[in-house]
């Protein structure tokens, strides 16, 4: 094997690509639905299905390329918002829940009431719209009615849970109220409560978690009308789903995202507990770095390697060093400070012998006209602390038109995000007990 390794883009993917098919494929990569789950010993797994695939109840044929441009723009805007908010002590939430989201099915209450929620590694609370609703966004599925659940219970104001959370208040009935303000001025407010949360199993069984803290929202204004009932926080905060499951899942969860341009019928996976263990040949691990706010999962990226050239990575200008990049499953692109981006882009340009194409929409800094017989783009290695991860073309270049591919990295004025395109065909495991994130090259389409 030579030092400079490459990954070939098959001509079929380029020559048969048209605007509509690309639109559908890109939107596939942005929004997923958890369709079913299965129990595995002391763990369980959930299938993530592309929101716009034929298997999705939200499937709608895409028609305009401009929607793709808008989706990319919204993704960038969202990341800038949440990173900016994270660096200041403001009462705003981590991310703007718009576009680039994953959806999951789950149930709350007794008897179980099925819901679709946005699975978000950048949020810390599970909240949903509840009846009676004073101010609610348009939800196409039924809303949860707590009065019909025998396991629902409001959390009192003097409880440790209420006292430990930021931006809570009290009602005259001594009920704890939560209030979330998002970067785009969206918000959710309502009762902080205890309820049974259930994940269905394909084996016919179900996995239930009594006394889970949820937010029962009665005043909600958000940007994802009709798509879901609210947010399922998977971040590092005290009332996220992953933190609340805690010892029940051993502090472990993982996911494996199928390729953007792969089989649209394939499903991604979200795993918990024993099912989330990443092991075997090829596994590399890097430390999770503890930083404020605790919502995010911080890693240390030391460099990128392109061919023989190692490009040192500075990362977040607000501190840098350890924990200089956030890994996030809900962010599409990989973002980094302008200086780091320019160094990386220059190294890529040196090895790519193609005509540069100027993106007419001004979204991407580096695009190429790719010939009909395809092109071998260089593999880019992300050199995390203790873990070198090879990123192939499916993770580093995306098509924006017939025969035009753009670099899926972008400069950011705010901070650094390792996005989900870069995580395709990787089994990514989080262990918050051992404080590590592990990566294993995996054909995610073949996971059972």
Q: List, by residue number, the catalytic residues.
A: 120, 328
Closest residue by Cα to residue 431 from 269, 270, 246 = 246
Contacting residues for 30 by C-beta, under 8 A, at least 6 apart: 51, 71, 75, 99, 100, 101, 332
Contact 416, 337 (CB under 8 A): yes
- The dihedral over CA atoms of 236, 291, 187, 335, expressed in degrees to the nearest 10, equals -100
Give the containing element (helix H, strand E) for 245: helix 241-245
- The dihedral over CA atoms of 104, 109, 111, 117, expressed in degrees to the nearest 10, equals -20
- The dihedral over CA atoms of 400, 82, 181, 96, expressed in degrees to the nearest 10, equals 20
- The whole-angstrom separation of Cα 335 and Cα 325 is 9
209-114-182 Cα angle (round to 5): 85
- The whole-angstrom separation of Cα 149 and Cα 169 is 24
């Amino acid at each position: 094997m030579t030092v400079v390794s490459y990954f070939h883009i098959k001509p079929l993917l380029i020559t048969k690509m048209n605007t509509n098919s690309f639109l559908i494929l890109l939107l596939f990569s942005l929004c997923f639905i958890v369709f079913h789950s299965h129990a595995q010993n002391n763990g369980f797994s959930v299938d993530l299905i592309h929101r716009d695939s034929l298997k999705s109840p939200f499937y709608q044929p895409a028609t305009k390329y401009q929607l793709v441009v808008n989706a990319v723009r919204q993704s960038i805007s969202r990341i800038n918002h949440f990173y900016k908010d994270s660096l200041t002590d403001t009462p705003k939430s981590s991310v703007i829940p718009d576009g680039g989201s994953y959806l999951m099915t789950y149930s709350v209450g007794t008897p179980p009431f099925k819901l679709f929620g946005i699975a978000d590694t950048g949020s810390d609370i599970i909240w949903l719209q509840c009846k009676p609703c004073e101010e609610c966004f348009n939800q196409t599925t039924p809303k949860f009615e707590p009065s019909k659940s025998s396991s629902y219970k409001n959390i009192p104001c003097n409880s440790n849970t209420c006292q430990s959370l930021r931006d809570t208040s009290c009602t005259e009935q001594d009920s704890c109220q939560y209030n979330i303000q998002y970067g785009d001025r969206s918000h959710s407010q309502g009762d902080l409560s205890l309820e049974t949360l259930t994940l269905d199993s394909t084996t016919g069984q179900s996995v239930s978690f009594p006394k889970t803290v949820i937010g029962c929202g009665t005043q909600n204004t958000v940007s994802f009308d009709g798509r879901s009932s609210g947010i399922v926080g998977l971040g590092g905060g005290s009332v996220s789903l992953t933190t609340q499951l805690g010892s029940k899942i051993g502090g472990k969860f993982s996911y494996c995202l199928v390729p953007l341009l792969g089989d649209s019928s394939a499903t991604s996976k979200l795993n918990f507990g024993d099912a989330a263990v990443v092991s075997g040949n090829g596994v590399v691990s890097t430390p999770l770095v503890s930083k404020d706010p605790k919502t995010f999962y911080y890693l240390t990226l030391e460099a990128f390697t392109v061919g023989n050239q190692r490009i040192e990575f500075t990362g977040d200008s607000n501190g840098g060093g350890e924990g200089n990049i956030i890994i996030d499953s809900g962010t599409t692109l990989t973002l980094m400070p302008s200086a780091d981006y320019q160094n990386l882009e220059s190294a890529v340009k040196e090895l790519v012998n193609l005509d540069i194409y100027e993106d007419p929409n001004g979204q991407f800094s580096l695009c190429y006209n790719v010939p009909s017989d395809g092109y071998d783009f260089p593999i880019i290695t992300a050199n995390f602390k203790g873990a070198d991860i090879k990123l192939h073309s499916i993770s580093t270049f995306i098509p924006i038109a017939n025969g035009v591919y753009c670099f899926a990295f972008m400069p950011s004025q705010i901070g650094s995000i390792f996005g989900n395109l870069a995580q395709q065909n990787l089994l990514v495991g989080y262990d918050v007990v051992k404080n590590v994130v592990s990566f294993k090259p995996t054909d995610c389409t073949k996971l059972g």
